[in-house]
Chains A and B, each alone.
Chain A
Amino acid sequence: MDLIQLSELRKTYAIGGVTIEALAGVSLAIDQREFVAIMGPSGSGKSTLMHILGCLDSPTSGRYLLKGKDVSSLRSDELAAVRNRDMGFVFQAYNLLPQMTALENVMLPLSYAARSVKDGRRRAEELMERVGLKERIRNRPVEMSGGEQQRVAIARALMMEPSIILADEPTGNLNSKGAREIVSIFKELHEEGKTIIYVTHDDNIGAQAERVIRIRDGLVVAEEGD
């Protein structure tokens, strides 16, 4: 069974009386343990696709099956539960909460978990060690480099042991060294069995994935894979 199955997914926005079709009927399937890059020029609809995949947004029409369950018409609180349980987000701008320490940021998803998680603190510390920031757990985001912040964000994404890691331009704000580090962490996670989906417009980063889905004008125009 596919982890993710999209059929005829459409998303339209009405902006100032003009209807914009961000997704014009996307159908695709992503299996467990895949490493997928979604690529396309800006305005192609790749971010919209990313948001719908991450249950941050709902499609206007079409069907989204996640682990065989239809999530396209869930209520906002049910979507929140899906995001907490099944999704780990990594954003371009890191999106750590500035008032919290790195460790508190990693532990934040625990606050919204349906069930209490045992040893959450120890797990967060292990994740910080895992991304190579064991010494930085008490630091706040402003005291860290961009690459370090993004590694904290990855640790946070892993906190609830989600089945999918979704990354939106994760290297967009980083220098090439930082970008390489992030990509190598993704590769390790993939080898450990995580499903990784990231959006990028950088061909070098996209080429690191096993499969590339190209989007243009709200449609899948090409698929390349190993």
Chain B
Amino acid sequence: MDLRDSYRNATRAITGARMRSFLTMLGIIIGIAAVILLMAVGEGSKRDILAQIQGSGSGNLYLTPGAQSSILSRRGNGGARDAGAKITMDDLKEIEAKVTYPVVVSPTNTMGITIKRGNTTMAGSGVFATETYFEVNNVTVASGRLLVTSDVSNRTRNVVIGANVGSTLFPGLSPLGQLIRINGMSFKVVGVAASKGQSFIGNSDNAVILPLTVGEKSFGIPHDRITMTTIKSVNPDDSGAVANQIAGILERRHRAVDFSILDQKSLTTLFSSALSIFTTLLAAIGGLSLLVGGIGIMNIMLVSVTERTREIGIRKALGAKERDILSQFLIESSLLSGAGGVIGVVFSILVANLLIKRFLPTYITTSSIFLAVGFSIAVGIFFGVYPARKAARLRPVEALRYE
């Protein structure tokens, strides 16, 4: 039987039972859409985060205590670390003194905090920093002022709040000069940062920037341990040489490589591999619903084989071999799932662009589309094999006798 005949037979069988075919395809449509959309969200977040890393300033180096191998398992909360592995203010002073290129050093500790004003409470992140934080991270104030040297040296209870903290706690009001409570302690708002949106270290709009020195005095952050130091080279081309100099200085001081220096490129690699795992995981979750869709196809193909027992008998009487019947039903099931896959792709592109894009970053890759359609056809063949074999092996006499 030639391919065009087979194709026509299959489309006739599918369009002959429109509602049933549609419902069967719906399982595949939803499965494929789930795979593509979840992958699109994963890929979108990945691109978003990587773009933020790219945009975070190409001359920036990120210095953290501990060797690089464990970098992903540590997220800064200002708590205790492996004994010995620490970066102190003296380390940083030495770096500032000895690095021969112009640099700006910004030490930070970060912890989760509760921010409260009156009856309004919100969760945010507390960034304990010095006056250099703003320059290094390109943070400007929308109103008020930045933290200055004296805030840090005098341990003032002055803070700069993120845009979102301002609008949540002070709806329609100016927060400047007002008091807020952070983990139960009173602080005065001296500035509101301009909105920056989500960044790879968290949402800076939900952050409160406090003087570094307040951290160890009032928040229990260990004395003289800096979780994350950003070093900005004034001339971005210097950053490679700067990284080498810092490594040399710290190695001499610590007599060990108990620190890591990440530049933008290594950060990109690091996040990129971690986020790819995340995307794969999301795709696997979507794949589960595709599996359910495949079982739907098998179910309906079994019904179809039973209903068309007589047709199978007639075809066999006219000379159809087992492989003719097998391929007839396989073509039908793969056409059903392939069409479901194509509709699923179109559907997910629409949903991603019209709906999900408003809430989450999405990016549909061409490879995810080919993967999805290919996978859906594979599902049709895989789940079509059993019913098709059942049909192919029917004995002609019994099939003809079937009412």
Contacts and interface: CB of A to CB of B under 8 A. Distances in A.
A118 B20 CA distance: 38
Given A56-B397, A111-B5, A77 B321 contact: yes
Contacts of A83: 316-319
A80 B317 CA distance: 7
Contacts of B145: none
Interface string B296-329: 0000000000000011011111111111100000
B396 interface: yes
Interface residues of B, number: 24
Contacts, number: 62
Contacts of A76: 321-322
The size class of the interface chain A forms with chain B is: 20 to 34
B319 A89 contact: no
A91 B12 CA distance: 24
Given A57-B397, A95-B400, A111 B1 contact: yes
A112 B12 contact: no
A167 B5 CA distance: 27
A89 B317 CA distance: 7
A108 B317 contact: no
A89 to B, nearest CB: 5
Contacts of B311: 97
Interface string B270-311: 000000000000000000000000000000000000000011
A80 B16 contact: no
Interface string B384-397: 00000000000111
B315 A112 contact: yes
B315 to A, nearest CB: 7
B13 interface: yes
Interface string A38-57: 00000000000001001011
A81 B317 CA distance: 10
B396 A91 contact: no
B312 to A, nearest CB: 11
B318 A84 contact: yes
A113 interface: yes
B397 A80 contact: no
B319 A85 contact: yes
| Residue of B318, B323, B324 contacting most chain A CB atoms (<10 Å) | B318
Nearest to A108: B318
Nearest to B5: A111
A89 B318 contact: yes
Contact of A80 (B2, B12, B320, B400): B320
Nearest to B328: A111
Contacts of A109: 318-319
Nearest to B318: A109
Interface string A96-129: 0101100000001101110000000000000000
A106 to B, nearest CB: 11
A112 B12 CA distance: 19
Interface string B352-395: 00000000000000000000000000000000000000000001
A113 B318 CA distance: 9
Contact of B324 (A54, A95, A112): A112
A80 B311 CA distance: 15
Contacts of B314: 95, 97
A194 interface: no
A95 B310 contact: yes
A81 B319 contact: yes
A118 to B, nearest CB: 14
Given A80-B321, A111-B2, 17 more contacts: A56-B316, A56-B317, A57-B397, A77-B321, A81-B319, A83-B317, A83-B318, A85-B319, A91-B400, A95-B314, A97-B311, A99-B12, A108-B318, A109-B319, A111-B320, A112-B321, A112-B324
Closest A-B pairs by Cβ, 7 of them: A84-B319, A112-B319, A111-B1, A77-B321, A109-B318, A80-B321, A56-B396
25 contacts: A56-B316, A56-B317, A57-B396, A77-B322, A77-B323, A80-B316, A80-B320, A80-B321, A81-B319, A81-B321, A83-B318, A95-B310, A95-B317, A95-B400, A97-B311, A99-B12, A99-B16, A100-B12, A108-B318, A111-B1, A111-B324, A112-B318, A112-B319, A112-B324, A156-B318
